[in-house]
Amino acid sequence: MLDPLLILELATLGLATGYLAGLLGIGGGMLIGPFMTLIMSAKGVSADLAVKMAIATSMATIIFTSVSSVRAHHKRGAVRWDIVRGLAPGIVLGGAIASMGIFALLKGTTLALVFAAFISFSATQMLLDKKPKPGRDMPGWGGMVGAGTVIGLISGLVGAGGGFISVPFMVACNVAIINAVATSAALGFPIALANAAGYAISGTGLPGLPAGSLGYIWLPALGVIAACSVTTAPLGAKMAHKLPVAKLKRIFALVLYCLAGYMLWRGLHG
């Protein structure tokens, strides 16, 4: 049984991350990861394993939030399904490589530093609001598969839905910000599914796992967060269509900077 206070904490986290998933297309993993690290550490899980379980559990929740938020975006015709089809094969490949190979080999503190570095870079790109070249477009099939592999690989290492990479990438290719956010929400599903399966397999039988674990994924937290996040994801998606583009970019960047700072601290101090 989970402590009532812990359930309340997880529920609040789920409501907040669901809203952000719909608003920013980041799948909620960027917020869940740091807070789940705190929760797992408080349960007495070792620092190294706590970071890995936080990353894996946050990724698994994206399976649910992505479906909820993408339905809301799809109703408004904002999802670029042609881009989803182009990036998805590479995403599944990159996710499998990350979650079943590299993730298990790296230390949790190293993963925390990787997390901080990549989302800081993405936040800076978004905050600077660099205008893409007028003639730039999404790459061809080979380029899409390659880009998808990178997105899936990095997402698998940091437990996020890939929006911190895919949104700036699509914007740089002259995809409108609202379409980039909506498409990123759709991409969260194959990213989360491929990586969650890998985390469950690669973490099987590890010593020190708390009760209710499926590999690196902590199922009690997954259940509470997912149940709450699906209720607020459509609300975030609705708000994304009302906010001006510049404000949406600033919100995206500031959220990422805050979370990068925390994970940098975790990585440096173990």
In angstroms, the CA 232 to CA 229 distance is: 6
**Taking Cα atoms as reference points, which of 83, 59, 76, 35 lies closest to residue 234?**
76
The whole domain housing 174 covers 4-269
Instruction: Write down the pLDDT at residue 210.
Output: 87
pTM of the model as a whole: 0.76
List, in sequence order, every residue forming a beta bridge with 99; answer none if it has no partner.
none
Contact, 76 vs 241, CB < 8 A?
yes
pLDDT at residue 169 greater than cutoff 70:
yes
Please give the single-letter amino acid code of residue 240.
A
Quote the strand ranges of the chain, DSSP E: 213-214, 217-218
Query: Higher pLDDT residue, 21 or 89?
Result: 89
pLDDT at residue 70 greater than cutoff 60:
yes
Instruction: Write down the pLDDT at residue 161.
Output: 67
| Over residues 100-121, mean pLDDT | 77
The count of structural domains within the chain is 1
| Over residues 64-81, mean pLDDT | 83
> Whole-angstrom distance between the N-terminal and C-terminal Cα of the chain?
29
**Token reading at 59:** 């990724």
